[in-house]
Amino acid sequence: MDHKSFLIQLQSRLGKDKGEIDSYMSAFLQILKERCSQMDTVAIQGFGLFEPKKKLERVVVNPSTGKRMLVPPKMILSFKPGSAIKTKLKMLSSK
């Protein structure tokens, strides 16, 4: 599902117009960006956990040249699904 399809589904379920849904999504994403850039974890009950993490620097090898390179440390955003999503996925995989 792409962004547009998601917004259409949200619009039909909430009975709101497109402008309101767009502003809700923009506000949600803005808050998520702000909190994660401040190194805060964002937990959404029943959905999951967004957590900024620091990846350490590491040495990698280019397989075609054999040349070793140092990859600098960087920040990444990890997501851990909540128990409701995990349960739903387990049910789908057991079918």
Q: Are residues 95 and 58 in the same domain?
A: yes
Q: Are residues 5 and 21 in the same domain?
A: yes
Q: What is the pLDDT of residue 70?
A: 95
Q: Is the pTM of this model over 0.85?
A: no
Question: How many percent of the chain have pLDDT more than 90?
Answer: 77
Q: Are residues 34 and 46 in the same domain?
A: no
Domain that holds residue 90: 41-95
Q: Are residues 46 and 60 in the same domain?
A: yes
Residue 43 reports pLDDT greater than 80: yes
Q: Are residues 50 and 78 in the same domain?
A: yes
Q: Are residues 22 and 53 in the same domain?
A: no
Token pair of 55, please? 């990846």
Tell me how far CA of residue 42 lies from CA of 6, 37, 72, 91, in angstroms: 21, 11, 26, 26
Q: Are residues 23 and 69 in the same domain?
A: no
Q: Are residues 54 and 78 in the same domain?
A: yes
